[in-house]
Every structure is written in structure tokens, then in C-alpha cells.
Amino acid sequence: MSARITVAESAGFCFGVQRAVDAVLEEAATGAAVCTLGPIIHNRIVVDSLAARGITVIDTPQQAGADRHVVIRSHGVGADVYRYFEEHGIRFRDATCPFVAKIHRLVSELGTDDLLIVAGDPDHPEVRGILGHCSADSIVIRDTVELSSICFAELEHKNRIVLIAQTTFPEFEWEKCLFSMKKVCTKVQIFDTICNATSLRQQEAAKLAERSDVMIVIGDRRSSNTAKLAAICRDRTKTFWIETAQELDPKEFRGVKTVGITAGASTPSGIIKEVHETMSEILEKQQEELSFEEMLDQSFKSTSNGEKVTGIVTDIKPNEIFVDIGTKHAGYVPLSELSDDPNAKTEELVKKGDELELLVVRVNDVEGTVMLSKKRLDAQAGFEKVMSAVDTGEVLDGVVTDVIKGGVLALTNGVKVFIPASQATLSRGEDLNELLKKPVRFKILEVNRQRRRAVGSIRIVAREAKKALEEQFWAQVEVGQKYTGTVKSLTDYGAFVDLGGVDGMVHISELSWGKIRHPSQVVNVGDVIDVFVKDIDPEKKKVSLGYKKDEDNPWEILRKNYAVGQVIKTKVVSLTTFGAFAEVIPGIDGLIHISQIARERVGKPSDVLSVGQEVEAKITELDFERRRVSLSIRALLEEAAAAQEKAPAAEEEAPAQEAEAPAEESAE
């Protein structure tokens, strides 16, 4: 079996760090003398290679001379630093991560009567930068313990209390803070400012570590996010934290079959690639070196009860399967130790050649057999997985098996987890029965190892997924872009449409070219409709949508199909003191001015016309600029009268012709 190496997709630079490094390189490419305020990233190798190109690091704004371009790194800085640069005419490029800059804007709106609570590390440059934009009192808390030491009763006089998080604050600790916060202070306004790049990287590392014999975590020894990654991996498998490929020791990887590689946010892709290549070479070489003796030794290796082994399925019978566990013993797994499902069939569960993780249940040296169990190992691993998820914040997949008093039970990895009603759905008040037998994703909030109990939250995961969709939406949305969305709710002034994580609004005036009294005249809740983006406000997270289409614009239809002088059949839709409005085409009403209703003087339009009455009228004016149509009944009446005035003369001639006709006929 050849060894497998998997590199985590999220390994390496995040968006903000990549942007900052690019900014430094772009500035340097202009030929300017460039320096960074603090190391651009926590990676000695990158900083050294930049230094070799003349890009230096300064520690304070005062060290920047007027001759150098200063790059502000992704962590951001306080408002005083910008002021200093501006007052001293120092050129600078702001590479503050946009997610951090957003927090700066948020806290700068707080006044001296307010209180800012930051969940984060008070010594971290990002937190110092955030506080440097805030004129309100502030408290920095590292975790729930520090949060619970705040006496909120003494802070009642504060106008606003705002809670935010450092972008890299552990998401799970944040959820726990929110959980506690809601119990002690209802007045607090919470802004979830955590960037999910970090948590995605951690979740992926946890999953990879679980299926790898060895994990390699690459990153600078001073990088806190790399330290966290290493800790997560170490909890799950043998882990090496290295800075470069040179630190890989081939001796450490003897017999290793699966290797996972991840890297901190400050590790450049070049280093990750080098580690991958070196690791491949090490494993290939070892494969070649594996001697016949070693293989023979392995086959005589014994095993003992409770041991975890890997086996390859060699034969499948209705009630058991046989596996090769690489020892002199013949291994078998009874069906009852393969699955909990009484209807399960061995051939549906495994196939020949499958590699299984198994638990040794009983070794029989006399018979040379070993009974193994997959079920017990899965249950053991499942329980450990659920227990450890409380620290890692890993998202677990499960199925809701019961709706009980106060919440639901979800089965995951063979363990039933209680999910309180308040944590079971995205918004409160939803029917829990809707969840029954449905697959759900959740995080573990609390565990009790002795009682083997765990409490989880679907809500946290649903909120994260919503946030991720929102971020994705805002990253790619543009004015004019078309979407297909679902109408979520209606108000008197418009329809809210779910565009997939973000709601946009179609104002009532944008729903139809004609006049409507309520959006329900055009759309209903649940309708799937095509819309386009008319306007966006990323700050306020507002999206204005358009629904009505240009080709349906009645003024264009009118322009193409109607002309002045044309006579139309129309219906009176309203009456005023100065005339009557009649529908020319749906969406356009024309005015029949009071003077144009009849030949004689009309006292008021209702003396002659009534709403709903059908009349013939002539188009006397089409004003596309001012969007007006003028109609006249009188013009038609006058034409009719004129025609009648001519009629007597015609009548006088007609009898003569008639009189002549018989004569002509008779002449023939």
C-alpha cells in the first residue's frame, strides 16, 4: 500500500494577508524605498526575504522618514498613526484587511457615554488598533471567565454597550461568550466580527488530522494561529510543527501511510509546496527500502485485546467478514460487530479490499484467530469525537431522532446529543417537529464526561452558514447582476426576496409599470422570481432590486403601437373636477380634459361620464417626456357633426340617382 499525502485546501495565506503581501511587493516594484509598520506577517522567512530586497520593518510611525513608503499591515493601526503620517507628510499604503477596517468604522461611531467590549487578546496589534479608533470606554476579555467577572449592574448608566470580537478570536469561545452574555446583560449590542478564514482552516485541519497517521503543520513558531492549528492536530494524531522542509526528519515517518499537511495564515505557498515535495521523496524512498525481513516480521506481529488495528477485507460471508490485520492471526468481524442495524447485510456494508479501522475484542492464540469490532471502535471514537468537539468547535453531522420536552435529540457518531429548543433553529419559535428524522449539523456547547452527555447547537452552525453565504454574496454582487430569488415577505412598500443568504427589497414602484396598491397584486410569498440588482449599500448591507422589465414598459409599447390622431376604445378609470382619466393601455391612463368631453359646456365630468364607462376617444397628444397622453371625445363628436352637416347635401343628390337608376335599368 503506497503512502498518501493530502494538503489542506485552506493551508496558507488568507485573503487579508495575501493582500498585504501583494501591497508590499507592488510598492517595491515602483522603485520606492518601502518599509512595513511591524512585520508584514508572522513569518521570519518571508520577512527575511523581503529584507533581502531592501524592504525594512519599522516598529513605530516615528521611525518612518519622509523618503520611505510605509505599508500598514493587515492587522490595522489606531487613528493616531494615520494622523501622524498625514501631519508629517509620510506616504503610506493602507493594507489593513477590509474585515478589520470594518471594525474600525464600527467602533469609531461610539461616543464617550458608550462602552466597547472586545473579545480578544489585549496585546494583539489588531486589538490595539481597534481600540485606537474608539473614544468610548473599553474592556478587552480573553474568554468567558473574564466576561463573567464584569459587573454589568455598575454599567447600567452606559448609553450603549457593544460587544465585538477580534477577527481571529476562537469562534467557539465567542459562542460561549454570547451564551453567557445573554444571561447577564440584555442591553448589549453584539456584532459578530469574526473572520471565518481561521475557523475554516481549523476545521479542515481537524478533519484531515483524524484520517492521517501524521500531520505536518507549517508556520512560524511565533504565529498564534499556527500554534492553534498544531494543537488541534496534536489532539488527534502525531503532529510535527515545522517552519521549513529542512526540518523534516525521515526517521519520524517510518511505516507512515497517510500524511496531512496544513499551514498557518502566514505561510507562503512556496514553502508548503517544498514541504509537500520533500515529504513525497521521503515516503517514496522508505517504500523502496521496506525489506522483505521487515514485512516478514510484521506478519508475525501479535496483537492484544482493546488494541486498535487496521485491516483489509479479504472475504465476505453473510454473518461475518474476514480481514487481514497484518499479523499471524486470522481476523474476523461478526455482522453484529459491524453494524447496529439489524437489517444490515455484510455485502452492503463492505467490499473486498476495503481498509477498516477495527478494535481487537478477543485474541484466540490456540485457534490463531482474532475477533474484531468496527461498531465498538466507531462508538468509542464517536464519543471521543463528540467530547473533543466542545474544545475544537468542530461541526458534527447528525440526524434528529426525537423531539422531547425543551428541545431535540440528534444522533451523531453513535452518541445522542441534546439540543435545547433555543439552539435548535435559526430563529426562535420554529416548529421543532419539522426537524424530526432530518439531517442536521451542529456544534457541541457543553459535555459531561461522567454522564456521557453533550449539549449542542444547530443554531450556531446555521448562523455561520448564513454568514458565509452573506460574505460570498457581498464579495461578488454588482449593480445590474441578475438573480433568481424567493419572495420571503411582503410589506405595504415592497417585497423582500431571498437571494440565497441575503435578502433584497423590490420597492412597490419597481414591481410593476402600472399603479398597484399592494405588492401582492404582482407577487406572493413563496414565488420564485427573476430580479436584478438596482443598487447596493455594502455598509448598511442593503440591496435594492428591480423586477419590472424594460420590454414591458408601457411607454415603449405606446410609442411603438399608437399615434396622435388614432381613435381608441377606452374605459374611464377615474373622474376629477378637471376631467376624466381613461386607460389607454394597462399602465397608462390618458386625460380627457373637461373641455374635451362633449361639444357643449360640461359642469362637471361626472354629469356626462361615469367610472367604468367605455368610450371612444381620439389621441390628441403623446408627450413621452412628461409621460402624458391627452384624449378627446369632443374631437370625434365634432367630426361626426361635421360629417352630418355634409350629409343633407349628399341626401339631396341621392334621390335623383335613385330615380335615375330604374330608368337606366329599364333602358337596358
Minimal distance, residue 40 CB to ligand F3S, in Å: 11
Q: Does 14 bind ligand F3S (CB under 6 A)?
A: yes
Q: Does 265 bind ligand F3S (CB under 6 A)?
A: yes
**660's grid cell:** 335615375
Can you name the residues that pair with 57 across neighbouring β-strands? 36
Q: Phi-psi region for residue 480, left (φ > 0), alpha (ψ -120 to 50) or beta?
A: left
- Report the alpha-carbon distance of residue 535 to residue 618 in Å, rounded: 41
Q: Does 262 bind ligand F3S (CB under 6 A)?
A: no
- To the nearest 10 degrees (0 to 180), the angle between helices 171-184 and 375-392 is 60
Out of 92, 99, 322, 483, which residue is the one contacting ligand F3S (CB under 6 A)? 99
Out of 35, 100, 107, 325, which residue is the one contacting ligand F3S (CB under 6 A)? 100
Minimal distance, residue 226 CB to ligand F3S, in Å: 13
Sign, CA torsion 98/10/384/459: positive
- Report the alpha-carbon distance of residue 554 to residue 150 in Å, rounded: 63
Q: Does 74 bind ligand F3S (CB under 6 A)?
A: yes
Q: Report how far Cα 383 is from the mean position of its chain's Cα atoms.
A: 30
| Cβ-based burial of 393 (10 A; exposed 0-12, middle 13-18, buried ≥19) | buried
Site for ligand F3S (CB under 6 A): how many residues?
Answer: 14
Please identify the residue of the shown chain whose CB is closest to the bound ligand F3S. 16
Q: Does 266 bind ligand F3S (CB under 6 A)?
A: no
**341: amino acid identity, one letter:** D
Q: Does 43 bind ligand F3S (CB under 6 A)?
A: no
Which one of 12-20, 129-137, 375-383, 475-483 is the stretch in contact with ligand F3S (CB under 6 A)? Answer: 12-20
Q: Does 130 bind ligand F3S (CB under 6 A)?
A: no
Out of 10, 198, 346, 373, which residue is the one contacting ligand F3S (CB under 6 A)? 198
Q: Which of 126, 173, 394, 510 is catalytic?
A: 126
Minimal distance, residue 199 CB to ligand F3S, in Å: 10
Out of 197, 242, 454, 592, which residue is the one contacting ligand F3S (CB under 6 A)? 197
Measured in Å, how far apart are the chain's first and last C-alpha atoms? 118
- Report the alpha-carbon distance of residue 388 to residue 237 in Å, rounded: 13
Which one of 193-201, 454-462, 468-476, 610-618 is the stretch in contact with ligand F3S (CB under 6 A)? Answer: 193-201
Count of Cβ atoms closer than 10 Å to residue 549 Cβ: 10
Sign, CA torsion 566/568/573/579: positive
Sign, CA torsion 325/331/335/336: negative
Minimal distance, residue 385 CB to ligand F3S, in Å: 26
Of the pair 232, 495, the CB lying nearest ligand F3S is at 232
Out of 144, 167, 223, 346, which residue is the one contacting ligand F3S (CB under 6 A)? 167
Can you name the residues that pair with 33 across neighbouring β-strands? 68
Minimal distance, residue 224 CB to ligand F3S, in Å: 12
Contacts of 234 (CB under 8 A, 6+ apart): 215
Asked if 126 is an active-site residue, the reply is: yes
Of the pair 120, 260, the CB lying nearest ligand F3S is at 120
Q: Does 16 bind ligand F3S (CB under 6 A)?
A: yes
As annotated, the active-site residues are: 126
Residues contributing to the site for ligand F3S (CB under 6 A): 14-17, 74, 97, 99-100, 167-168, 195, 197-198, 265
